[in-house]
Amino acid sequence: MATTIKTRRALAKVGVITGLVIGGLFAGLPVVWLLSTSFKSNGDVFQNPPKLITKNFSFDAYREILGNGAQVRYFVNSYIVAFAVTILTLLVAVLAGFAFSRFTFPFQKTINAVIISVQAVPPITLVIPYFGLVVALGLYNTYSGLILTHMVFTLPYAIIMITAYLNTVPRELDESVKVDGGTSWTALWRILVPISVPGLIAVGIYTFMISWNEYLFALTLTRTDDMRTVPIGIQLLMGQHSYEWNQMMAMSVLGSIPVLLLFLVFLLLLFILPFFGKIDPAEDVVGRTQESL
């Protein structure tokens, strides 16, 4: 009997490991091939049989991308829009989440239902209305037009997630601030926000990814190359008669670096540093706040 149980556990362990390996290969091989293609010449991309590493290994595709001012501008535009969207989304979502979590006001459930329902609307159905609105407001081909449009799609998710996160924070922390003479504003910025940093980081990374990778509205609401973003820049490498596959892959690799760095920062702040920490963040925040009051 004991042997049978051990055998089943061993088989289950082998099955789990096999599944993880297959899943890892399924997810990792396209990335490996992406990297490989970015170091090939355009002629070697369609080599038969295909090779992961060729004799003509070079950084020419990266030199072409980084040496082209227009393509570098795509990255600058993406950084400006994505960071602005992330900061503004977090700011508005924190205030809205605090209101939904800690207060009761008229039409609260209705407003909450509207915010949730926005998530169900396919973005493509809003392209023409938003195009007309942005043009009417004089925001066509501007950073403001892109930022405000991206926020329409990032804010609902951010508000929902931050509200849910704040609901898990005990109300006693707010009350302890008020007992010491503080206000709701003090409780928000000195207690709730510091404690909610892990949730804010997760929402911020998701928001940045949505804005960084957004293609449809970036294409529709911009006209000139000096306002295009990275996804549009990759698409523009597809010519009428030829595709610059190696440059497309190189630009995709460069476009993936910011998201990868944000993920590493997220990993560092949420898992690595707390593992070595000895102070409970909540107790530390409350203690410092009470001292300052």
Contact between residue 208 and residue 83 where contact means Cβ atoms under 8 Å apart: yes
CB neighbour list of residue 65: distance below 8 Å, 6 or more residues apart: 71, 72, 247, 250, 251, 254
Phi/psi of residue 238, nearest 5 degrees: -90, 100
For residue 198, the model assigns a pLDDT of 83
Tell me the per-residue pLDDT of 87-134, one tens digit each, with 9 for 90 and over. Answer: 999 999 999 999 998 888 888 889 888 888 888 888 888 899 999 999
DSSP bridge partners of 238 = 243
Grouping H, G, I as helix, E, B as strand and the rest as coil, residue 214 is: coil
The tens place of each residue's pLDDT in the chain, 293 residues long, gives 556 777 888 888 888 899 989 998 888 888 888 888 888 887 777 777 777 777 777 888 899 899 988 899 999 999 999 999 999 999 999 999 999 988 888 888 898 888 888 888 888 888 999 999 999 999 999 999 999 999 999 999 999 999 999 998 888 888 888 887 778 888 888 888 888 888 898 899 899 999 999 999 999 999 998 899 999 998 888 876 677 888 888 998 998 888 888 878 777 777 776 666 644 445 555 455 545 55
Distance CA 45, CA 65 (A): 18
Q: 224 vs 69, 74, 141, 175, 176, CA distance in Å? A: 14, 11, 7, 53, 54
For residue 3, the model assigns a pLDDT of 65
- Whose structure tokens read 């931050």? 162
For the whole prediction, is pTM greater than 0.85?
Answer: no
For residue 240, the model assigns a pLDDT of 60
For residue 84, the model assigns a pLDDT of 96
